Chain A
Amino acid sequence: MNDSEESWKKLVEAARKAPPEPEEAPPAGFASRVVALRDAIAAFARTLMWRRWSVLAALGCLVLFLAVLAATKCSAPARPLIEEPNSDLSGSIRP
């Protein structure tokens, strides 16, 4: 141990002889302020949770809508590009 470190040790040993600082009571109303803060945090957490569920529900609806849309498109009969001429009308035309 060098001289400087020895000096530090001496200072620490001397400082330890100081009587412990008297315990100070927490400031008045501290518990009430913390309880109020906790309520605010809990309310914020609830808001966040509802927002999260709302976003999830909206996404779920969108996925469901797209799925239904895709399903109906697949099951609908394919329409011909050019419709058959009406046979009833073709007989009534005179040359």
Chain B
Amino acid sequence: MRALLWLYPRAWRCRYGAEMEALLAQLRGWRRLELALDLVRGAADAHLHPQVPGRRRLRWLPAGLGLLAAALISRAVAGAAGSDRQAVAAGLLAGLWLVAAFAWRWLGSRTAFLFSALVAGRFMADWVALAAVLQLTHLGAAPLPYRVGAAVLEVGLGGVAASLLVRRSRLAGPLPFAAGCALELALGGGLSAGVLLERWLAPAAVEPVRVVLWAAALAWLGRRRRPRPWGEPPEGAPVAARPSPNAPEPLSARARRAS
């Protein structure tokens, strides 16, 4: 079990490693799997939310690699399904990213959870749109009102997915819906940035990249949770008592004396 401590960052091991080893040696009556899962989750948290100052991390490298991996995985699944089974691919991708979202939630990364959930929500919206209405317009048989209605539905579903998932962030009220719709319009076809994507990328890659960019932008906008008061003392609360003079000396005081 002690081997799992190597999953923690070096700075963390220097600070807490010996204590955790001592604790592991003392714990009795725990199931090994339960203990292992708790340590794996703790190690993921130590990497995602480092509390101990350590080596400066390349913050944007994992995010960039993650976006690239998300686009490549989505493209591979969409490509394997073929152009005539896009609704199946969208449903499959929605399920896949939903599983990823739950995994990130368990590991404790809000931004990665939000991103995965948004990708899942956007593919689910695609699945609904493709299965319900857009099949008609893709066949080219639908009259203009149906096409306009389908476009409005697609943009609206993007907004609904965004407002459902980003509502607990600092974006309040109708802002998530507006941001979801605006990004959908900006990355869609017509005169928007979607034209550039269609020009630069292979046809099978356009939709996955569009979805990943849409989700990444919204996850970035909604990455901060709305602040919630925690432990705020009520007005007029008495001031805490000073520690007794016999209390053990804190580590910080000993370090100051040594230097």
Same assembly: no
